[in-house]
Chains A and B, each alone.
Chain A
Amino acid sequence: MAYQLYRNTTLGNSLQESLDELIQTQQITPQLALQVLLQFDKAINTALANRVCNRVNFKGSLNTYRFCDNVWTFVLNDVEFREVTDLVKVDKVKIVACDGKNTGNAAE
C-alpha cells in the first residue's frame, strides 16, 4: 500500500470531492470510492517517483518541528523556494514528510 500522503493536495482533494459528490447522488458506493482513492495513491506515488525530475532548494526559519509515527511535520517562516527557473517566497509553509527510505510502504 502506498502512502496516502498525497490525498491532501489539489489533485487529491479534487478527487475526493468528486467522489463525495457521486456518493451523495448514490452513483457509487463509499467502498468503491475508497478503492478509487487507493488507486490514486498508487498512481501518484508512481508518477512522482518516475515522472518528475527536478530539484528545489529552500531556505527559511524554523518555527516548529514534530516527529511522530515516523512522520515529520515542520512549520517554516519567511521561506524562499528556489528552482533553476524561478523563486517563490512565502511567509509560512507547512511541510509534512513521510519516511522515504522504504519504497513508499505504508507508515503504520
Chain B
Amino acid sequence: MSNQLNLPQVDSNQVPKLYRSVIEDVINEVRELFLDEGVDEQVLMELKTLWENKLMQSKAVEGFNTEEQAALQAAAQQQAQQAQQATQQAQTQQVLLPPQQQAPQQQVIVQDPKILQHMSATGMSAATTAATLALPTGIGPYQQLITSQGQILQVLRAANGTQYIIQPQQQMVLQQQVLPQMQPGGGQAPVIQQVLAPLQGGLPQQTGVIIQPQQVILTGNKVQQNAQVQGGAAPGGQQQQQQIQQQVQQVQQVQGGAAPGVPQQQQQQPPMMLQVDGAGDTSSEEEDEEEEYDEEEDEEKEKDGEDGQVEEEPLNSEDDVSDEEDQELFDTENVVVCQYDKIHRSKNKWKFHLKDGIMNLNGRDYVFSKAIGDAEW
C-alpha cells in the first residue's frame, strides 16, 4: 500500500513517510513473533517507542516520526508559550506600574511592596492584604487577581499543583540602591521558568544584590504566613528584607529546597586557574631546572628521531600522511548503502549505475530509487 504519488517530490518529504511505513510494517509483522515467544505486547510498543525516539534524536530525518510525538511536542510548545506569555505580561505590567523602589529583581513574592506602602500610607490593615492574597486553591492554570489596591497579580499554577503568584513589580527595598531599573527582556524569563520548575537550584545572579531573585512558592498555607509576618512589619526596608529573607529561607527549607542560600550564590564561581607555561608539564619545582629543561627541549626538537621524545607528540609525526584526521572532524561518515545495476570503467573513468539506496550525507538521510554517477580515479 503506497500513499505516495509517483510525482517527483522533494526527497526530504519522502523519507519520514518511508521510515514511518517501514516501522509500521516491521512492528506489525513482528507482533506475531512476539506473541509466539510469549512476549507481551507492551514490549512491542516499547520497541516501537525506542525506535522512533532514536530516529528523532538522530535528527537525520526531518519531522516527527509519529503523530503522538507531534502531539507531545505541540503540548510542550504550548507550555513554553504560556511561560513566555506570563513573562511578557509581567513585564508590561512592570512598565506600567511606577516603581517607587529601585528594585529590579525578578521575584515571586506574595507581598507587594506597594501593598505595604499603601498599608503604611493609607493604614490598610494586614488583614485586608492577607485576605486578598489568600487565594482559593481552585485557581485555574493561569489567572489574574486584582487586589484591593487595583494591582494585578498573576497566578500560575504549575503542573504539580503548587501555585505561584507572580508579582508584576519587584519589591524588595534594597540597601544598595544601585540596581538598575527593571530589566526588560530576559529579566523575568529565568525567574518565571524557575518558578515553573519547583525550586531548582541555580538562581540567576545579579551583581550587588543581597536578596537575589527568590522563589517563594506558595501553597494555601504559606500565603497566610507571609501575610501575617509582613503585615506587622514596619515599612522600613531593611526589616522587610530580613523578614522576607527569613521567609524565603523557611520556605526553602520547608520545601527541602535545592536552591542554596542567597549570599552563597555569589561565591559559586570556581576559582579559575590558568596555566601559562605550556603543556609540557614536569614535576620539577625549581625554576633553575625548568629553564635548563626548556633549552634542552629546543635542542632536542631539532634532532631527528632520537630519544628526544618528551611527553609531547612523537617527533616526525609531521611526516605521516594521514587523511583520517581531517575527515574525522565530521560527525558523520557520509555513507550510501545501495545496490548496483552496473559498474563501468574506461581507463580511469568510472560510471556507476545504482539503485534502491539510502544515503546519510552531512547528517541527513536521503533515499533514491536510482542513482547515476561519474568519477575519475
Contacts of A104 in B (CB 8 A): 339
Determine whether the beta carbon of A47 is less than 8 Å from that of B18.
yes
Contacts of B377 in A (CB 8 A): 61-63, 65
Determine whether the beta carbon of A11 is less than 8 Å from that of B19.
yes
Determine whether the beta carbon of B54 is less than 8 Å from that of A18.
yes
Contacts of A15 in B (CB 8 A): 26, 51
Which interface residue of B58, B339, B366, B376 has the most chain A CB atoms within 10 A?
Answer: B339
Determine whether the beta carbon of A93 is less than 8 Å from that of B11.
no
- Restricting to A1-57, which residues have a CB under 8 Å from any CB of B? 3, 5-6, 8-11, 13-15, 17-19, 21-22, 27-29, 32, 35-36, 39-40, 42-57
Contacts of B46 in A (CB 8 A): 22, 27
Count of interface residues, chain B, beta-carbon cutoff 8 Å: 69
A96 to B256 alpha-carbon distance, docked (Å):
57
Q: Mark B15-49, 1 if CB is under 8 A from A, else 0.
A: 00011011101100110011001010001001100
A94 to B350 alpha-carbon distance, docked (Å):
15
Give the segment of B68-76, B238-246, B286-294, B353-361 that binds chain A: B353-361
B375 proximal to A (CB < 8 A): yes
- Restricting to A50-108, which residues have a CB under 8 Å from any CB of B? 50-63, 65, 67, 72, 74, 76, 79, 81, 83-86, 88, 90-101, 104
Sample of 18 more A-B contacts, CB < 8 Å, known A56-B372, A83-B368? A10-B365, A14-B54, A15-B51, A17-B54, A40-B26, A47-B22, A52-B356, A54-B368, A56-B359, A57-B372, A59-B373, A74-B375, A76-B373, A83-B11, A95-B338, A97-B338, A97-B340, A98-B338
Q: List 23 A-B contacts (CB under 8 A).
A: A14-B58, A17-B54, A18-B51, A19-B47, A22-B43, A32-B33, A40-B22, A51-B2, A53-B369, A56-B366, A58-B352, A59-B374, A62-B350, A62-B377, A84-B8, A88-B366, A90-B361, A92-B327, A94-B334, A97-B336, A97-B338, A99-B340, A100-B339
